[in-house]
Copies of this chain bind each other. A is one copy, B any other.
Amino acid sequence: MTARPSDDVSAAGDPLDVPSTGLGAARSAHVPDATVARLPVYLRALLQLADAKVATVSSEDLALASGVNSAKVRKDLSQLGSYGTRGVGYDVNNLLHEISRELGLTQPRAVAIVGIGNLGHALAGYGGFAPRGVRIAALLDADAHRIGETVNGLVVQPVSALEEVVAGCDITIGVIATPALAAQQICDRFVGAGVRSILNFAPVTLTVPDDVDVRKVDLSVELQILSFHDQQRSRGRRASAVLAVDPSVDGSGPDLPVELTS
């Protein structure tokens, strides 16, 4: 969304201040949502720089690599309390560490994916998660045909085991990649099992308690937004639009239609 768009932001957030509990460094009380949404982007760019053995980076360069402007980068990073060095820039490794910690990725979060259709497969096989603090810990499906199948080293389990899996694997984030009809039901079970963060790929508006955070990814919504801008441009002449989805999965090809077998 046009950024965010973006975005896109959908669920409710509680801006609760957190007094540093022991090990955390003294950090600012509240990081703006807009900043939080960009931190993962910086993280990705920094990982690339670290790979290339770059030691320090200026806000200008990081901005270029992230597709934002440098003022935003500086303001964002200053929110974190992170320190760069004037006249020099930011230490890449240090920044990686700071951002990871701010995002709560210092120890990987366990994710469960429900609905192992094309989209579920794509998610399960996505290679970009592990290096970024997110670990796919369990795959669940309602279709007897898919249960027992191994995807990327994980065996697909029956949805009936959802509650046990959440408790047993210490699942923190639930991903719903089921058909629309099953989504709310799966969501309710996740919530009942104690999951408080949900990523929804099903084309429905989920109803959840206030303390649960739901983010939604809706492909046709993205396409329709592009359609709008495209139309704006082409009042008279012909216009076209290109849409790129993040398939940073490594290995297979894109597979999108999510189907839920409930």
- Chain A positions near chain B (C-beta within 8 angstroms): 1-14, 16, 18, 21, 31, 33-34, 36-37, 39-41, 43-45, 65-67, 102-105, 109, 111, 113, 115-129, 132-134, 141, 143, 146, 152, 166, 171-180, 183, 186-187, 190-191, 193-206, 208, 211-233, 235-236, 238-261
Contact = CB atoms under 8 A, between A and B. Distances in A.
Contacts of A255: 116-123, 125, 255-258
A16 B72 CA distance: 25
A254 B120 contact: yes
Contacts of A122: 117-119, 121-122, 254-258
Contacts of A176: 242-245, 247
Contact of A65 (B109, B197, B205, B244): B205
Given A9-B8, A200-B243, A224-B134, A33 B217 contact: no
A160 to B, nearest CB: 16
A16 B228 CA distance: 12
A246 to B, nearest CB: 4
Contacts of A244: 174-177, 183, 186-187, 198-202, 206, 214-216
A197 B243 CA distance: 6
A97 to B, nearest CB: 15
Contacts of A9: 1-8
B243 A215 contact: yes
A94 B220 CA distance: 21
Given A116-B255, A195-B240, A248-B258, 9 more contacts: A1-B213, A2-B13, A31-B228, A117-B255, A122-B255, A172-B239, A173-B243, A197-B227, A198-B243
19 contacts: A1-B11, A2-B213, A39-B228, A44-B221, A104-B232, A113-B254, A121-B254, A122-B258, A132-B224, A173-B226, A173-B227, A177-B254, A178-B247, A187-B242, A195-B242, A202-B244, A202-B245, A218-B246, A254-B259
Nearest to A193: B240
Given A44-B203, A253-B259, A220 B119 contact: no
Contacts of A260: 247, 253-254
Contact of A241 (B18, B196, B247): B196
Given A213-B241, A240-B174, A220 B254 contact: no
Given A123-B219, A247-B260, A203 B118 contact: no
